[in-house]
Amino acid sequence: MKTGILINARLGSKRLPDKHLQSIGKGTALAHLIIRLVPLAANRKDIRIFIATGSEQENAPLQAIAQAAGIELFYGDADNIPLRHHQLVQRFGLAAIVSVDGDDLLSSPTACQAIIDALENGAPLARTEGLPFGMNAWGYTAKTLAEAINSLSTNTMLETGWGRIFSQFTPTVITYSISNSDAVRATLDYPEDLEFFRAVFTKCPTDILKDDRALTAWIYAEGIYKLSSSRHEEYWNNFTQEKAKEDRQLNENYSKRLHAVIPGGAHTYSRGDDQYPANAPAILERGKGAYSWSPAGEKFLDYGMALRAVNIGYAEPCINEAAIRQIEKGNNLTRASTIELEAAELLVSLIDSVDMVKFTKNGSTATSAAVKLARAYTGRDLIARCAQHPFFSYDDWFIGSTAIPKGIPRNIIEQTKSFNYNDIVSLEKLIAEYPDQFACVIMEPVSLECPISPGNPQAQGFGDLKAKYPKGSTNFLKEVEVLCKKHGIIFILDEMITGFRWGLKGAQEFFGLDPDISTFGKAMANGFSVAGVAGKRDIMKLGSTDTPGTERVFLLSTTHGAEMSGLGAFVETVKFMQREKVIEHFWDYGQKIVALMETCALEAGIGNHFKMIGTAIIPAFVFLDESNTASLPLRTLFLQELIKAGILMPWISFTYRHGEAELALTRQGVLKAMEVVKKALTDGVDRYLAGPAVKPVFRRFN
């Protein structure tokens, strides 16, 4: 494999001017590094060493060093280092690169060789860890570099580091375990570092210089490690403070820009700043599998998963490809498309209660369409909504029944009434109070509570739910269905969250329900914008046009409602779920994470202040303060500490791509975060919170 060892060097350093030309013993700093690396190319015609520098004139003195060492000095792009490497790769026809920082004069040839071996064995990207700072090596193939460059803008490449540039690739990591490697900082950054390297290169025996373990031990034993700039507390303090300040500034700038042009700073209130702790990334750039990344390259294990819209994983290749196939077919045609028919037939065949479906882009339009159908079918106006279910639609019929009714006419507000989950009497009373006036009952099958049933009288969401709801048994939901039938009320089951999670046929199948209308959305197309109102033919056909003479109902009609990319993604998501054991995985992961959170709470000693609620499939968590009341400040602190551990958990939504590695990561972060919560319970939460506590979405005032 034609490989280049690229020593990145420039002469413009402000902290240590002309650092590569500084003398160390008999040679220059850079010459010492080259001498260390030369043996790697000695018996290999396919390995060449280069100095890669920027095109500025100030770098010309490097030529003498290159010439003396018999290696090539390559002038590439002045600022854009990935591009500079790409230019070099193209010029010399390289297949792989080992990238060495010219400041790292003790770069390990053994580590470089390990990288070459890994790349030759097919790794797209490889790095070592465990050696002292400045001795590890890393590299990547030309293909990896080309793909990364093609996917990024020049600005992004200029603004961010290598980690971000290659973040879509999984590196092969070669780990060394060397005592005292933490104590050694071997990089030429400040004048003190020069003293460190002078001591190493002039005093260290040659055989020790060649052996990373012996070298580290020697530097430590001789006390030479104390010479480098890392020993200066001020340096590290400044470094970390400066970095934190920069990150905060970047985040604040994004937040300001978002709020300047978008009311609420995001297109969903639950994505807003007031839903997250102060250290949360204000903005994200991309996601892959179970992770998302901020523009600064911070990686987060994601439990928000696009407000539960992603259930397989971000950017799942086969689903993206299915969407792209439809994009290439035009994405939105003049008449109904073949994928529109395929998607509709698929949904109808999948959900037993459904004869017809109309697709749309958002859940809200689907639920509003369901309500309209119910009103048209029954000729009645009133809507009964379940009070414990937090969201059905952004439309007035629903928002008018929340704490934020401003802007909604009184008569519309008065048309939506509430009943309580697991309280059939509350619904019966409502129906009795407004006889023959309710068009529909709308509810989710399950949110934080399960339906009361003979097998589950406490409405518990954990344990063996299948055993608690045997086929054919009754439960609260079934009672609602029967009550609706009795009073000629349309039973709308909103499966926006439960659909494609509880089971492929939804939670309705699990609980033996036969709703008149169902609504789906969120996870049905793994993040693509697809939702649908679906139901019994005699109701749905009100929106039809093929029965001459009947009065029409203007059901959903949107330009983008049947956008082909989304529907292609929906069909592929279903196929994926049928092919892989996705639903089984959800139940398994859910049970594991519930147990994990509860165990961590016990281990951290806050068992009395923490509670898992909901169900294994859609679990939720609550922190309780000293008075046993749900505490948003404690919750915020937990979220804040999790973010420090690289975990974004506004709620718990997991995907097929959340696996054992993610559980292990979660355990580490959760335990640490809970330990801080424990301290806050004694010392007061304000001492630990870096910003305001999160607020409920539905509150009247900002």
Ligand X SMILES: Cc1ncc(COP(=O)(O)O)c(C=O)c1O
Positions in the binding site for ligand X (CB under 6 A):
362-364, 367, 391-393, 444, 494, 496-497, 521, 531
Q: Quote the CA–CA distance of 34 and 29 in Å, as a whole number.
A: 9
Cite the DSSP H helix spans in 103-175.
Answer: 109-120, 142-151, 154-159, 162-165
As beta bridge partners, residue 533 has 358, 519
**H/E element, 384:** strand 382-386
- Least distance CB 555 / ligand X (angstroms): 17
Instruction: For residue 147, give Cα distances in angstroms to 4, 151, 168, 453, 578.
Output: 18, 6, 10, 55, 32
- Least distance CB 427 / ligand X (angstroms): 18
**H/E element, 218:** helix 212-221
Chain centre distance of CA 100: 31
Closer Cβ to ligand X, 337 or 367, answer by number: 367
Closer Cβ to ligand X, 105 or 492, answer by number: 492
Closer Cβ to ligand X, 496 or 616, answer by number: 496
Closer Cβ to ligand X, 51 or 652, answer by number: 652
Q: Quote the CA–CA distance of 104 and 197 in Å, as a whole number.
A: 10
- Least distance CB 533 / ligand X (angstroms): 11
- Token pair, residue 243, equals 């970095």
- The two counts, helices (H) then strands (E), for the chain are 26, 22
- Least distance CB 698 / ligand X (angstroms): 12
End-to-end CA distance of the chain: 61
How many CB atoms are closer than 10 A to CB 77? 19
Q: Which residue's entry shows tokens 């983008």?
A: 560
- Least distance CB 361 / ligand X (angstroms): 8
Q: Quote the CA–CA distance of 291 and 303 in Å, as a whole number.
A: 9
Closer Cβ to ligand X, 496 or 540, answer by number: 496
As beta bridge partners, residue 47 has 3
When CB distances to ligand X are compared, the closest residue is: 363
- Least distance CB 393 / ligand X (angstroms): 6
Instruction: For residue 687, give Cα distances in angstroms to 1, 78, 213, 586, 632.
Output: 56, 46, 43, 37, 15
- Least distance CB 509 / ligand X (angstroms): 18
- Least distance CB 692 / ligand X (angstroms): 24
- Least distance CB 237 / ligand X (angstroms): 44
525: nearest Cα among 580, 556, 579, 563: 563
Closer Cβ to ligand X, 54 or 363, answer by number: 363
Closer Cβ to ligand X, 316 or 444, answer by number: 444
Residue type, position 680, single letter: A
Closer Cβ to ligand X, 97 or 513, answer by number: 513
596: nearest Cα among 553, 644, 654, 545: 654
Closer Cβ to ligand X, 306 or 643, answer by number: 306
